Amino acid sequence: MTDPLQNLGVRATPNGGTLRVWSASATGIDLCLFGDKDPSWVAEKIPLVRDDANVWSTTSPKLKPGTRYSLQASGPTGPSQAFDPKLHLIDPYARGLARTANGEWRSYVQDDAFDWAGVKKPNTALDHTVIYEAHARGISKLNPAVPEELRGTYAGLANDTAIAYLKDLGVTAIELLPVQQFVSEQRLVKQGLSNYWGYNTLNFFTPHAAYASKAAQTGGTGAVLREFKGMVKLLHEAGIEVILDVVYNHTAEEGRLGPTTSLRGLDNANYYRQDAKGNYVDVTGCGNTVNFATDAAQRLVLDSLRYWANEVQVDGFRFDLAATLGRDAGVVFDPHHPLLEAIVSDPALKNVKMIAEPWDVGMGGWQVGNFPDGWSEWNDDYRDRVREFWLTDIGAARATGTAPIGIGQLAAKLSGSAGTFSQERGPLASVNFVTAHDGFTLADLTAYNQKHNLGNGENNRDGTDDNHSFNYGVEGPTHDATILSAREKATRNLLGTLLLSAGLPMITAGDEFGRSQRGNNNAYCHDSELTWLPWEHEDWQDDLLLVSQKLLRLRRENPALRPVRFGVFGETVPSATQMDWFNKEGLTMSVTDWDSPAERTLQYLAASTPEFEEFNRILLVVHGLEQPETVCLPEHEGVTSYELLWNSADDHAAADTHAPGTELVMAPASMQLFRAH
């Protein structure tokens, strides 16, 4: 049976282009075609015809690549409606957008032609994936090796030096903050600020034009899209995947007094959640919430994903406020919501990585661990516990003489968060992160107890106060060598925990060398050197970068660190990890060892159960108190020696080999990784 909602937007036909638009509430929709020289002058107006599925359509020989067009819709009045036939609206499925001199937007028929030259997606296995979260503009804006006219652009991101940097670092995927066309919120514009992060989407099918080079922006139909595709192609040639951070939960139309640019003017009653009085039901905190209880809104998301995954060849998506996409007609989160299940079961999206930010700000909005099989999820429990163990627990121990809790909760995170994610989904359902774009950078976690957001124009009210950070005695920059040494070791411990844990690791761009935002934990409105990636480093930053590269190499080389499945006691589960836990004496952990704040040392022996790689066994020793501790390396069947691979307290430590039963001294608050032979 033919799908009544297929082929929305403009599609080429032998008779020109056919435009199809969905609206159940409109009583009339007109296609406005604009003159080639004046995008504000309507050269022709064509009425669309409605079918039984509420799809309005027309065919015109003038709907050809480069043609600018808009929609004008009329319909009933009432609290849930917002029709204004004078407004020029964006086609929700427009693949090209241009702006007029007075700031209005025009859709245009896109030229999709591009030669991929046989380059295919890398299709990196999830257990080998390491995500690098970055900003498409900020990553190259300060790169001196990039030609000046390409800095801060898609082409700049794909420059040879940038790609070589990512390869040398050892990440496998770059996750870009929103690159679908967005605009700054009205509030920010009035303040003279801009939305740098991009979580305010105008259209779900067009790349953000301002991130293209000037040559592409003025290069005619298809030039911006070709630059974007060229970036994807070059990254793929280097074996690096591209994941897009996508914002489908709300749009740039904001609240009811916001700008009406597309969905609101076409069918406000069906596209946005409202109460009986027409008030928006906002579970996003952004003014509006797209109503995914409707088939049309679900289809809009699926068609957008298919477009980017197939025609633009991106490899995955991270869904902002993904809990919103799973809310039913009663605004209740349903883990079996048809949209959530369709995203991971659609044959057109096979092998595409799907990552949820598993919360929103509505009732019942925190849904970590509750998404369907096939999804990975940002694990904020992991983030908070790792920060607490290495930072706030240390700060509390300094202040009171005792850390607040033991090591058991950290152990659960190290081994894949089995208490959060089901046996069927396994450890790769957990996207492990210590930082993200939103919050302190890794270096700032060790340098600031408080946020410093005055530059955001909100009197330091914005941004979280729950940072789980510790400044080691001085707020902000210091020349105290003891404090600097403690901060740098804490940063290594945080990175080491992240990259040696079971799960899917995500690094925030710049954390690998200690980038700072001077204590700003909500730098969404700063398009400046505060947020751009610096390419010139101090010596300690170069040292930290070498540590990051080493940790990523060790992760690649040791399958025991990256299991695909959870193990089952008494069974051999393929591609899982057989885990044994020992205390500092080398004995099996007791309840006291797990829970006592005075016993924050453990030894984690993990052996792979090979399916596609050679057998591997590692020993990770974690010590979470600021006093040295003697540990006895555990005796275990099949283990004859332990080879030191990394020591967070001394990255230049010799790669010594020790027999089981050997006693070693762990430096205060440190980690050591061994390969067991």
Query: Catalytic residue positions?
Result: 320, 357
- Beta strands 316-319 and 353-356, pairing class: parallel
Give SS3 for 434: coil
Alpha carbon 105 to its chain's center: 28
Measure the CA angle with vertex 517, ends 515 and 518; round to 5°: 115
Token pair listed for 470: 């510790």
The answer to whether 253 and 264 have CB atoms below 8 angstroms apart is yes
Token pair listed for 367: 């849904």
**Sole residue written with tokens 């210091």:** 478
Measure the CA angle with vertex 223, ends 220 and 229; round to 5°: 165
Give SS3 for 501: coil
E strand residue ranges, 557-662: 577-582, 601-608, 617-623, 629-632, 642-647, 657-658
Provide φ and ψ at 394, rounded to 5°: -65, -45
State the DSSP string of 645-667.
Answer: EEETT-TT----EE-TT-EEEEP
Q: How many CB atoms lie within 10 A of CB 497?
A: 26
Distance CA 119, CA 229 (A): 11
State the DSSP string of 314-361.
Answer: --EEEETTGGGGGB-TTS-B-TT-HHHHHHHH-GGGTT-EEEE----S
Q: How many CB atoms lie within 10 A of CB 328?
A: 13
Distance CA 127, CA 257 (A): 46
Distance CA 159, CA 151 (A): 9
First to last CA, the chain: 60
- What angle, rounded to 10 degrees, do the helices at 338-345 and 295-306 form? 20
Strand partners, 506: 131
Q: Which of 226, 179, 183 is nearest to 202 (CA)?
A: 183
Distance CA 130, CA 128 (A): 7
**Sole residue written with tokens 């993990």:** 606
Strand partners, 12: 17
Distance CA 142, CA 160 (A): 15
Distance CA 462, CA 9 (A): 39
Q: Which of 68, 90, 182, 205 is nearest to 135 (CA)?
A: 182
Distance CA 366, CA 360 (A): 7
H/E element holding 592? helix 591-595
